[in-house]
């Protein structure tokens, strides 16, 4: 299963077998624009006409961020494309090598770029690969209303009102809890619709030392909780192009996040435990954390845990923003401006965002970015261990509106995360940590700007 944050890159170029389309018939499920494509001419019941045989083509997908293996890409996307479009040969170029500039230098083709939101500017804009899909959306009558509204709004923001990519997967937003620990200590399971105050009260009840073992009530990773904050606070001021953490709301939000680490026996002892595999091991391997919130990933890889009885509950909300979840962080596929097969590539992206494909991928454990509750609730149906779990908690009832996104977000987020960790570890007071983080980020931004001149 592909992950937005993990996976091994291998210098493998996979391509499936080519075959020519023959036989008659319309595309299944395409009527009435249901799957994002144009309605069948003449409506339901119209006489089917033979399909024109199509010349074989090759579409090259470049992973510019994640380090997926070619095998996993073909399993989750490529093989389905070739089955749907037998005349298309799918080739996959892994991350990191060859890079996009190296591919340009070698005159290699790039039809579709796969990039994280944080790397959008580096991968798409800096390489001048942006291509507005709006004319193709109109000419094919692609139904944008099927996309989750904030994922669409974010895509349009990135393209200044246009559309450079389509979201093929959503992002996880759930608290995972260890049912065995709650049973052991006689504490009721956490429930949906909790406020953060409720969450910290549960954390207090679960944080303890017993039998010489310290149990943490909760572990919340700061990185994407900062980037996807529910108040839609931006890291970069769009008017100054500088990091700006001076908003009172930023401080209020971070103070709330820090309060969880002031609970007795819930302190984090080492910096590395605030993220990555080290933090996950405390929850999954060592099983000394009762509630775990990562707030990243596209599916079952990030939401599966071995040798433990667990379930999901919604990310808590703030009392001044009841019911409002985290910001969206979808996975977009972008058609390259350098592609000579843009119409064919868009036909593929329309299929990857169709109800048909998204339903199958949801069952396989890849979160959808469509505004379709049936597809959302079908998540991981192919996995018996997910039967009976609180699937509806994995995606919020309502995403927060997307904040302003800048090419310098990665710099600002990194420094703000370190400020959070320094304050949580008691190394610095929050005011000092945030001020120094802002200064550090702006120095780095100026260095980047000077190198671009």
Looking at the DSSP bridge assignments, the partners of residue 6 are none
Structure tokens at 165: 């990519």
Report the mean per-residue pLDDT for the chain: 90
* Terminal Cα distance for the chain, rounded: 41
DSSP 8-state secondary structure symbol assigned to residue 414: H
Q: Which residue has the tokens 């992973």?
A: 63
pLDDT value of residue 52: 74
Q: What per-residue confidence (pLDDT) applies to 422?
A: 97
Please tell me whether residue 173 adopts helix, strand or coil conformation.
Answer: coil
CA distances from 405 to 45, 141, 173, 226, 252 (A): 46, 29, 20, 13, 21
Structural domains in the chain plus CATH codes: 31-170+331-371 (3.40.190.10), 174-327+399-452 (3.40.190.10)
Cα-Cα-Cα-Cα torsion 205, 264, 201, 305, nearest 10 degrees, comes to -70
Can you give the pLDDT at residue 1? 53
Tens digits of residue pLDDT in 277-331: 999 999 999 999 999 999 888 888 889 999 999 999 999 999 999 889 999 999 9
Cα separation, 223 vs 206, in Å, equals 24
Q: What is the pLDDT of residues 140-192, one digit of tens each?
A: 999 999 999 999 999 999 999 999 999 999 998 899 999 999 999 999 999 99
- Distance from the Cα of residue 393 to its chain's centroid: 16
pLDDT of residue 323: 87
């Amino acid at each position: 299963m592909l992950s937005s944050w993990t996976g091994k890159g291998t210098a493998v170029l996979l391509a499936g077998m080519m075959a020519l389309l023959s036989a008659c018939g319309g595309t299944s499920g395409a009527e009435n624009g249901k799957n994002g494509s144009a309605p069948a001419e003449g409506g339901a019941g119209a006489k089917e006409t033979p399909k024109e045989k199509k010349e074989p083509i090759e579409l090259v997908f470049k992973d510019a961020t994640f380090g997926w293996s070619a095998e996993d890409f073909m399993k989750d996307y490529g093989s389905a494309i070739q089955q749907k479009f037998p005349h298309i040969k799918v080739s996959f170029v892994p991350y990191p090598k060859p890079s996009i500039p190296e591919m340009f230098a070698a005159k290699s083709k790039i039809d579709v770029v796969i990039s994280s939101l944080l790397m959008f500017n580096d991968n798409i804009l800096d390489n001048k690969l942006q291509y507005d899909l709006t004319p193709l959306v109109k000419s094919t009558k692609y139904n944008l209303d099927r996309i989750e509204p904030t994922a669409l709004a974010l895509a349009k923001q990135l393209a200044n009102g246009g559309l450079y990519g389509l979201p093929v997967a959503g992002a996880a937003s759930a608290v995972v809890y260890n049912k065995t620990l709650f049973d052991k200590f006689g504490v009721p399971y956490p429930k949906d619709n909790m406020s953060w105050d409720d969450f910290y009260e549960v954390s207090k009840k679960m944080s303890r030392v017993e039998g010489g073992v310290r149990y943490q009530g909760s572990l919340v990773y700061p990185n994407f909780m900062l980037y996807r904050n529910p108040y839609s606070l931006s890291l970069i001021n769009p008017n100054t192009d500088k990091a700006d953490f001076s908003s009172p709301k930023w401080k209020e939000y971070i103070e709330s996040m820090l309060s969880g680490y002031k609970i007795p026996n819930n302190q984090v002892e080492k910096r590395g435990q605030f993220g990555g595999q080290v933090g996950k091991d405390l929850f999954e391997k060592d099983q000394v954390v009762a509630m775990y919130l990562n707030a990243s990933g596209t599916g079952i890889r990030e939401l599966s845990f071995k040798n433990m009885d667990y379930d999901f509950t919604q990310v808590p909300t703030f009392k001044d923003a009841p019911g409002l979840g985290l910001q969206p962080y979808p996975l977009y596929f972008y058609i390259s401006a350098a592609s000579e097969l843009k119409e064919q590539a868009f036909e593929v992206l329309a299929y990857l965002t169709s109800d048909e494909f998204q339903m199958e991928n949801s069952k396989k454990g890849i979160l959808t970015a469509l505004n379709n509750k049936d597809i959302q609730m079908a998540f991981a149906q192919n996995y018996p261990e997910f039967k009976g779990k609180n699937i509806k908690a994995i995606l919020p009832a309502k995403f927060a509106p997307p904040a302003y996104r800048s090419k310098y977000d990665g710099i600002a987020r990194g420094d703000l995360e370190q400020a959070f960790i320094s304050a949580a570890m008691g190394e610095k007071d929050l005011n000092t940590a945030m001020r120094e983080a802002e200064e550090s980020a702006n120095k780095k931004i100026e260095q980047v700007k000077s190198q671009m001149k």
